[in-house]
Amino acid sequence: MRITFCCTGTAPEPWLQGLCAALPGADVQVWAPGAPQADFAVVWAPPQAFIDEQPGLKALFNIGAGVDALLKLRLPPGLPVVRLDDAGMSVQMAEYVCQAVIRHFRELDVAEADMARGEWQFRKPRQRADFPVGVMGLGVLGSRVAQALQTFEFPVNGWSRSPKAAEALPGVRTFAGVAQLGDFLHSSRVLVNLLPLTAETDGILNHAHLSRLQPGGYLINVARGAHLVEADLLALLDSGHLAGATLDVFRTEPLPAGHPFWHHPKLTLTPHTSARTLRDESIAQIARKIAALAAGQPLSAVAGVVDTGLGY
């Protein structure tokens, strides 16, 4: 069995060592133009030339949960694409989102600013019932985030493209489809975006949708920068309809010098770090899936297979 590794911006040696250890007998090599045909590929942002030179692949394994960059390539019809379905990312995402919600709800950012000015002030505690949190996207990561928020007794709403069974997310008020998006937004004061990036969701965080949040709304975007219409967010922040936002992802990364986000007083920025790929966990998950397919198990038995028509 031959496995080729083509991950832009990723040091290959630890991945090759881990895959060789997890799949004894496999021939694991870094791809270079003209390389022999492989059975499986482990990829992140591969060039089109890689896809064109490897027509015999049985499956592509993406070392992340988001596959939007991969699906922009011309892939052979029927080539299975398999994403990471957790690999330690969901707990990181839950940590990040919960701290962002709590920091805003408890006004810890305001307290930090006060202390930096040498001011010792108290503020009236706010009620959790006044801060319903809406989670857009109820996949593996979104579901974990929704469950974690309930630990802190926030009312939680969830929105997804298709309906979710009530027993799958106990305690979460769920909405589904375009018809219920407006009601979901109107019922939420804090909005957490965990949607996959598709043609339908590009620019979904726009003025029309964000203005439907309850007054004093707050945005947390941890999915993709292209979900957000940046000028619309700035306008809603400056009008006061939105109290602020925490942004971990941006349309251009790194965020360009001079971008208005850098010094906006209502924004908290982090450098696309809300949920990082954990190498050892990812290698173990990918190796299990490759071994299953190599042993003849059907694709339906493998978690994380992407519907390339839907984009996730």
Residue 209 φ/ψ, nearest 5 degrees: -80, -45
How far apart are the C-alpha atoms of 167 and 157, rounded to whole Å?
14
- Provide the pairing of β-strand 242-247 with 156-160: unpaired
Of 173, 272, 276, 288, which residue is the catalytic one?
272
For 84, other C-beta atoms within 10 Å of its C-beta total 24
Token pair for 97: 């989102």
Determine the residue type at 213. Answer: L
Q: What is the DSSP string of 15-33?
A: HHHHHHHHSTT-EEEE--T
For residue 298, give both structure tokens.
């059907």
Q: Check if 117 is active-site.
A: no
Using left for φ > 0, alpha for ψ between -120 and 50, and beta otherwise, residue 15 falls in alpha
Annotated active-site residue in 173, 189, 224, 227: 224
Distance CA 44, CA 55 (A): 17
Q: Are 83 and 66 in contact (CB under 8 A)?
A: yes
Instruction: Please say if 224 is a catalytic residue.
Output: yes
| Residue from 35, 30, 38, 34 nearest 1 by CA | 38
- How far is Cα 154 from Cα 111, in angstroms, rounded to an integer? 21
Catalytic sites, residue numbers: 224, 272
